[in-house]
Amino acid sequence: MKVGDRVRVSTTVEVYHHPAHRGKPYDLEGQEGEIIANATEHQGRPISANFPWVVQFEGKFRGHFRDHELTVIED
């Protein structure tokens, strides 16, 4: 995976910060978005992020994911 890839959430991932379901559990499985960042370094120094992939979904909603939670969508 790399920044700019279209991805689909392939496992159950419950979030509580989705704008349309704030404060309630919302499962992102099956949602599609674009990878906008890989959070493995900060100010040029390596960091060990637990959820390194930042995915932008429709609108302003973003989420952080692990490798095994995402599948690249082939065009």
Q: What residues are paired with 42 via a beta bridge?
A: 45
User: Which residues, in sequence order, are CB contacts of 56 under 8 Å at separation 6+?
Assistant: 33, 34, 36, 62
* pLDDT tens column, 12-54: 999 999 988 989 999 999 999 999 999 888 898 999 989 999 9
* pLDDT interval class at 65 (50, 70, 90): very high
For the domain 6-72, what is the CATH code?
Answer: 2.30.30.50
Residue ranges covered by each domain of the chain? 6-72
- Looking at residue 52, its pLDDT comes to 94
Helix/strand/coil (H/E/C) assignment for every residue in 30-47: CCEEEEEEECCEECCEEC
Judge whether residue 75 has pLDDT over 80: no
pTM recorded for the entire structure? 0.86
